[in-house]
Amino acid sequence: MSRLILILGDQLSPDIRALREADKETDTVVMAEVMDEASYVRHHPKKIALIFAAMRKFAAGLEEDGWRVRYSKLDDEETSRSICGELMRRAQEEGADEVLATEPGEFRLISALEDCPVTVHQFEDDRFLCSHAAFEDWAKGRKSLRMEYFYREMRKSTGLMMEGDEPAGGKWNYDHENREPAPGVIDFNGPMQFTPDETVEEVLDLVESRFASNFGEARPFWFATDRGQARRQLSHWIRHGLKNFGAYQDAMLIGNRFLYHSVLSLYMNLGLLDPREVCSAVEEAWQAGEAPINAAEGFIRQIIGWREYMRGIYFLQGPDYMERNALNHRRKLPELFWGGETKMRCLSETIDQTREEAYAHHIQRLMVTGNFSLLAGLDPAEVHEWYMSVYADAYEWVMAGNTIGMTQFADGGIVASKPYVSSGNYIDKMSDYCGDCHYSVKTKTGEGACPFNLLYWDFMARHRERFEGNPRMAQMYSTWDRMSDEKRKTIRSEAGAILDALSEGRVV
Ligand code: FAD
Ligand code: DLZ
Ligand code: SF4
């Protein structure tokens, strides 16, 4: 009896595990665009278009390669709602009684495959550099699971940027060289933009007709949708963007949405690029003297450090991780996150860009929308769902640690040793947003005071019991204590007014 080989929309790697386990002569590959996947959150239309277009091209490539492929388009009449439904339908058509799959990156889908009436064997996804077992081993018995220590182990096990047992250049981490505001001139025009071909155009029409009410629009569309294009973007960025990636990775600029960022998460997360090949290409550029050590190390740390670590945390913590709410934050997500009016320039800039590109870089996600959500006490599950909905690179295995852990401190401090919060000062230092804002970043209280300034101290005061014992926060509490009673009262009452306005749907 033949078997089915399931390839999901983010498993578009030619050597994906399920294909390696398969027999080209007798097995049939199943790929399906299904409504359950396209709607478990209200994905940005650009993300759906990216996935469907890349799936169609990948399926065509497999056929050219001699595989028998059964591909279901979303608007085919017979296509069922779910991946399991499609497996059952194809199993009957093909007379197959088992399915080989690569483990999905989300508990929801792993359970759906386990519960599917047809037998599905799920093989571990070995596109990641750290297996579940290796992460569990690393985590076992540790009091704290800090990324930096995990990262060192990953450097050793991959050998990337190592000189024997020592890190290249003598230091594990060059982050202190990586915190510069944007320079006067940015000599990089951003990611390569690809003109939609016939396949992409067909998908864009489909997405426009079926997902018109989702946040954002499918067109204009320029993402790479196959491995060849993704590789061109990798080379383009290494040649022109990498050298300044390190220094300016925390900078934010009105009108420059990508700065020196690679915009490669989209393609790595889909499987079009392998994280190993990306890291090796960066290491080679550094070895050839084409990129400084702080850029190469900083980038490799994001991939073998943060990316692998976030996945490890997700699978270690389990399905209830997304429900954690250590700070008991309950405020509903305000309309401004969906493009509603706001007078805060940093938020409007980041959210407008997110709607138009389905992309924002790390510091915009962390220190603008994430910082604001935490300071405003927004419900972390709603925050998580927002991020899952609006970014084209969003998958739960990588998103959860970033939202629930890193930005919202909802896991009580597993990912972050202290909450990532800041007043307006940080945003002012790293961006040009404040100069163009209704509020004044230099004003701490009263008319026109920057909401980040007020909400920052209010957050510290609200959560004093939890955080005052944290040595990394002691200095902030002594600054707070040195303020006059009157000033503290004013801050709390003005912050309270902002929080009330958010809860009542008034413009902030
Ligand atoms: P670059 O700045 O060029 O960085 C290089 C690569 O490093 C990225 O492509 C990515 O693969 C990796 N990386 C960097 N930081 C992280 C991180 N914290 N966690 C995991 N990988 C990282 N990344 C996603 O891929 N998917 C998500 O759903 C996602 N959600 C996020 C949500 C929040 C609240 C935050 C703070 C970060 C999130 N990130 C996510 C991480 C990071 O913001 C994006 O990977 C990055 O912005 C993608 O753009 P880039 O490829 O230009 O990244
Ligand atoms: C994200 C996504 C979307 C939008 N659509 C599909 C789809 O129609 N078919 C499919 O196989 N995969 C899709 N995906 C990716 C899955 O949701 C993804 O595999 C899981 O979320 C696990 O990461
Ligand atoms: Fe954002 Fe405050 Fe700066 Fe305005 S002044 S852009 S609200 S940080």
Q: Which amino acid is at 133?
A: A
pLDDT at residue 136 in the model:
98
Token duo for residue 498: 């902002």
Q: How confident is the model at residue 178 (pLDDT cuts 50, 70, 90)?
A: confident
Among the listed residues 109, 397, 416, the one whose alpha carbon sits nearest the alpha carbon of residue 268: 397
- Ligand 1 binding pocket, CB closer than 6 Å: 249, 261-265, 268-269, 299, 302-303, 306-307, 310, 361-362, 365-366, 370, 387, 391, 393-395, 398-399, 402-403, 406-407
Instruction: Note the pLDDT tens digit of each residue in 293-319.
Output: 999 999 999 999 999 999 999 999 999
Q: Which atom of ligand 1 is nearest the CA belonging to 369?
A: 34
Number of neighbours of residue 1 by Cβ within 10 angstroms: 9
Query: Using CA positions, which residue lies closest to atom 10 of ligand 1?
Result: 265
Question: Which two three-digit tokens encode residue 501?
Answer: 């306005």
Check pLDDT > 80 for residue 1.
no
Give me the pLDDT at residue 184, please: 85
Mean per-residue pLDDT, 17-37: 97
**Residue 455 near ligand 3, beta carbon < 6 Å:** no
Closest protein CA for atom 2 of ligand 3: 450
Atom 2, ligand 1: which residue's CA is nearest? 261
pLDDT tens-digit map of 458-486:
999 999 999 999 999 999 999 999 999 99
- Compute, in angstroms, the gap from residue 10 CA to the centroid of ligand 2: 6
Q: Which two tokens stand for residue 130?
A: 């750290």
Residue whose pair of structure tokens reads 């896991």 in the numeric block: 411
pLDDT at 506 over 90: yes
Q: Separation of 318 CA from ligand 1 center, angstroms? A: 21
- The per-residue pLDDT for range 242-262, each reduced to its tens digit, is 999 989 999 999 999 999 999
Nearest CA, atom 9, ligand 1: 265
Q: What is the pLDDT of residue 177?
A: 80
SS3 call for 80: coil
Three-point CA angle 384, 116, 102, nearest 5°: 65
Ligand nearest to the CA of 344: 3
pTM, two decimals, is 0.98
Strand 166-167 with 162-163, pairing: antiparallel
Question: How far from each other are the two terminal CA atoms of the chain, in whole angstroms?
Answer: 63
**pLDDT at 402 exceeding the cut of 80:** yes
Residue 159: its pLDDT value, please? Answer: 97
**What are residue 108's phi and psi, to 5 degrees?**
-50, -45
Q: For the chain, state the CA radius of gyration.
A: 24
Query: What number does the ligand 3 atom closest to the CA of 428 have?
Result: 3
Please state, in angstroms and rounded to a whole number, the distance separating the CA atoms of residues 373 and 408.
7
- Does the pLDDT at position 353 exceed 80? yes
DSSP per position, 231-253: HHHHHHHHHHTHHHHTTTTT-BB
Confidence of residue 79 (pLDDT cuts 50, 70, 90): very high
Which residue, by CA, sits nearest to atom 7 of ligand 3? 344
- 69 CA distance to ligand 1 centroid (A)? 32
**Whose structure tokens read 């490890």?**
312
Q: What is the mean pLDDT of the chain?
A: 97
Residue whose Cα lies nearest atom 1 of ligand 3: it is: 346
By alpha-carbon position, which residue is closest to atom 6 of ligand 2? Answer: 37
Residues in Cβ contact with 332 at an 8 Å cutoff, skipping those fewer than 6 apart: 378, 379, 382, 503
Contacts of 137 (CB under 8 A, 6+ apart): none
- Tokens 């006490």 -> residue: 377
pLDDT, tens digit (0-9, with 9 covering 90-100), for 93-140 = 999 999 999 999 999 999 999 999 999 999 999 999 999 999 999 999
The whole-number pLDDT of residue 157 equals: 96
Going from the Cα of 8 to the center of ligand 2, the distance in angstroms, rounded, reads 6
pLDDT at res. 327: 98
